[in-house]
């Protein structure tokens, strides 16, 4: 069985379309949808009644508003299907075969299968191993490696998925669209430059937590190097446009969470960046 876990927060306007995209799936195994209500004002009883005619649907309400990571982890804890997929309450599965494509491939023995996501806000296809969209997970692997969401409210999906990969998951990348990331969540307020800058500290904290969690050995050295190279490529790409004040703040965060790599800040030469990180890891 596949558990479809959907965190919901005041999602009555978008949730029916999300559930409809699930209802239309041509899938060769049973599915159960579980809604994790993060203390919405909305009442989902009518929506649940409507869609329970087409698939199993469960509902759980958190005691307090805690964010997507806590909601998804509760979904993992209260379900028991062999496979897990996370869908946002304002996103869609791409077409009627999306879930079955992921399912058929994970049967080959993979721990995770990553499909393509169509990002509505940027109008292009992306396969991003670092987020949750368009991915099917084997529950047994998550349990064996004790992989769980942390309680941060931002970048918690990136933390979770990178923990899956850095722990040695066998991941297959399916270069086909399976998921639509809808652009209604990309408001100017939610993506202001000031807010994104402040979230960088949470990202750095998550990276530190990841590196503290994993054991680096021959089985994952290359994955760890690739992960750190991509992180510092991103840091340096945005760092060059910071004001002097923000550069100093960002460096103080690096000193706090990753002091051994402070020398990597400001290096735009990717080959040099990779060389320095390899020397530290390999």
Tens of pLDDT, residues 146-179: 999 998 888 888 999 999 999 999 999 998 999 9
Closest CA to 118 of 157, 158, 91, 87: 91
Burial class (CB in 10 A: 0-12, 13-18, 19+), 279: exposed
Give, in degrees to the nearest 5, the angle at Cα 22 between 17 and 23. Answer: 90
pLDDT value of residue 155? 84
CATH 3.90.550.10 fits 2-185, yes or no: yes
The pLDDT score that the predictor gives to residue 87 is 97
Nearest to 165 by CA among 257, 231, 258: 231
Question: How confident is the model over 51-67, as a mean pLDDT?
Answer: 96
Q: Is the model more confident about 153 or about 95?
A: 95
Alpha-helical segments (H) within 24-67: 45-51
Whether the model pTM is above 0.85: yes
pLDDT of residue 187: 43
Q: What would the two tokens of residue 208 be?
A: 């530190």
In this predicted structure, what is the pLDDT of residue 120? 82
Residue 12: Cβ-neighbour burial (10 angstroms; 0-12, 13-18, 19+): middle
Split at pLDDT 50, 70, 90, the class of 131 is confident
Q: At what angle do helices 244-257 and 193-213 cross, to 10 degrees?
A: 20
- Write down the pLDDT at residue 123: 67
pLDDT tens for residues 217-235?
988 999 999 999 999 999 9
What percentage of the chain carries pLDDT values higher than 70?
95
Domain boundary assignment for the chain: 2-185, 193-281
According to the model, what pLDDT value does residue 189 have?
Answer: 41
**81: Cβ–Cβ under 8 A, 6 or more apart, which residues?**
1, 2, 3, 32, 139
- 21 pLDDT exceeds 80? yes
Beta strand 31-37 pairing with 56-61: parallel
Rounded to the nearest integer, the mean pLDDT of the chain is: 92
């Amino acid at each position: 069985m596949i558990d479809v876990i959907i965190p919901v927060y005041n999602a009555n306007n978008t949730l029916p379309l999300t559930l409809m995209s699930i209802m239309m799936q041509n899938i060769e195994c049973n599915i159960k949808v579980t809604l994790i209500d993060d203390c919405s004002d909305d009442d989902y009883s009518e929506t649940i009644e409507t869609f329970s005619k087409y698939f199993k649907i469960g509902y759980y309400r958190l005691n307090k508003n805690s964010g997507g990571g806590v909601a998804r982890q509760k979904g993992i804890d209260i379900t028991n299907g062999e496979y897990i997929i996370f869908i946002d309450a304002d996103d869609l599965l791409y077409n009627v075969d999306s879930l079955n494509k992921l399912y058929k491939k994970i049967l080959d023995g993979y721990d995770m299968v990553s499909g393509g996501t169509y990002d509505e806000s940027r109008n292009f296809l992306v396969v991003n191993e670092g987020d949750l969209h368009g991915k099917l997970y084997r529950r047994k692997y998550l349990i064996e490696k004790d992989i769980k969401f942390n309680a941060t409210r931002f970048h918690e999906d990136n933390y979770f998925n990178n923990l899956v990969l850095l722990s040695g998951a066998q991941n297959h990348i399916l270069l086909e669209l399976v998921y639509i990331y809808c652009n209604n969540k990309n408001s100017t307020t939610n993506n202001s430059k000031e807010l994104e800058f402040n979230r960088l500290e949470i990202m750095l904290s998550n990276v530190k937590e990841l590196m503290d969690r994993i054991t680096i050995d021959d089985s994952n050295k290359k994955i760890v190097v690739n992960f750190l190279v991509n992180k510092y490529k991103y840091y340096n790409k945005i760092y060059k446009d910071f004001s002097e004040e923000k550069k100093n703040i960002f460096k103080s965060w690096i000193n706090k969470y990753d002091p051994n790599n402070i020398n990597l800040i400001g290096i735009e030469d990717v080959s040099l960046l990779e060389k320095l990180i390899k020397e530290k890891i390999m």
